Amino acid sequence: MAEIKFTGIVERLLGTKGVKVVEQHRVKSPAGEWETKGRTFFTVWLGDCQMPAEGQLIEVTGRQKTVFEEYNGEKRYVLHVGATNIKVVSNVPDFTGSNSVRSENIIPTGWAEVPAEQTPF
């Protein structure tokens, strides 16, 4: 399993122990506007801890594993992450305004500082 760290938006809750998270791949256009060029979806398993809410921006650290699943007759590979640390970055889904940024660890372990320049989500 690979160690992984990413920031994404909680798309939906998966019962009491997991969440579906979408990581947006954003780049600046020549005009200086942020554009979404792609997305990666993760199934994140949290275990027994406080669950983030849908729409929250979170930072995830954990171990990634590719899982083969069948859903509605389709076979596919899904990225699962066993979280070792989850950090809520924002409680505001659109992540606007300086007062919307808040940081709170859900799974209590250490976490490195977030770089000063972040892509807006």
Residue spans per domain, the chain: 2-105
Mean pLDDT of the chain: 76
Give the domain 2-105 fold. Answer: OB fold (Dihydrolipoamide Acetyltransferase, E2P) (2.40.50)
pTM, two decimal places: 0.68
Q: What is the pLDDT of residues 17-33, one digit of tens each?
A: 889 999 988 888 899 89
Nearest-angstrom CA–CA distance, 4 and 68:
19
pLDDT at 103 over 50: no
pLDDT at 118 over 60: no
Alpha-carbon distance of 51 to 106, in angstroms, equals: 8
pLDDT in tens, 44-82: 988 777 788 899 999 999 998 888 888 899 998 888 998
